[in-house]
Amino acid sequence: MKKTIPFLLPILFLCGVFHAAGQIAVTGYNHVALSVKDIDASARFYREILGLEPIAVPENLKAIRSWFRIAPGQELHLLAGRSFPVTNNDPNAAHFSLTIPDADPVEAFFN
C-alpha cells in the first residue's frame, strides 16, 4: 500500500480528483453505515415503514448486513453487532437525516 499511494497521487491530480489547494473534490456520499442490535427488525423498519428499496449484499456478508437504496448513488448499510444501549436524549448521538416532503403525516404516524 505504501508504494501504491505515491504512484496514485499524480494520477489523481491529473484526473481532477483534487482541486484548489490540494483538497479532495467530494461530490456526495455513497453510504451511511449504522450498527444495529437486531438486523432483521431494523431491516424490516427501513423496508416496511420507510419504504427503502433493499439492494444486493455480497453473499459472504448477508448474515450480518442489510443494505438499502436511499436515492440514486446513496445507500444505507445496516451492520449487525451493536451491543450498547441507544438513548433518545443524547444530542451528540450518531445519526443521519432524511429529507421528506411533509413532516406532519410522518409525525402523526409515529405518534
First-to-last alpha carbon distance for the chain, in angstroms, is 51
Contact status, residue 76 vs residue 31, Cβ threshold 8 Å: yes
Statement: residue 65 has pLDDT above 60: yes
Q: pLDDT band at 76, cuts 50/70/90?
A: very high
List phi, psi (to 5°) of 87. -115, 150
Smallest CA-to-CA distance from 34 within 83, 96, 99 is with 96
Q: Which domains does the chain have, with CATH numbers?
A: 29-110 (3.10.180.10)
6-28: pLDDT as tens digits: 444 454 444 555 556 667 777 78
**Per-residue pLDDT, 1:** 45
On whether the CB atoms of residues 69 and 55 are closer than 8 A, the answer is yes
CA-nearest of 31, 23, 37 to 85 is: 37
Q: What is the mean pLDDT of residues 63-76?
A: 90
pTM (2 d.p.): 0.67
